[in-house]
Amino acid sequence: MLKFTMIGLGGLLGAIGRYTLSEFVQRFHSTSFPAGTLVVNVLGCFFLGVVMHLIQSQGLFSTHTRMFITVGLLGAATTFSTFGHETVTLLDSGKVGLAFLNVVGNVVLGFSAVWLGTTLVRASGH
């Protein structure tokens, strides 16, 4: 139960942090380019890389702290960081084909799912 509490608390902070940082960055860009989302995703990927390396190479952090940081805080801030970490892990283990499949699958299927969802709702008249 403590594991879920730590994930939930991290998720709360991560979601609030994502919104706050994204809005802050976006205020400085007068274009429609989602710079705030880009900054959040890149920073989330960077910090997940740092934390996962420390966990894997030095065994830092207790299990509950790991869950708070990785699944909760960074996971709520951006699932793109998890996607990035999993892809790098596949590359590091020599599974280039699976890494490529992961990238293409997430991007193509993700965008396709957004398009399909939007199209279905529009077609229903909503």
pLDDT digits (tens, 9 = 90+) for 3-59: 999 999 999 999 999 999 999 998 988 777 888 888 998 998 899 889 999 888 898
- Token look-up 């990238």 returns 103
**In the prediction, which pLDDT does 110 show?**
84
Which residues 6+ apart lie within 8 Å of 125 measured at CB?
none
**In the prediction, which pLDDT does 34 show?**
84
Joined together, the tokens standing for residue 35 give 């710079």
Of residues 26 and 94, more confidence is placed in 94
In the three-class reduction of DSSP (H, G, I as helix; E, B as strand; rest coil), residue 63 is classed as helix
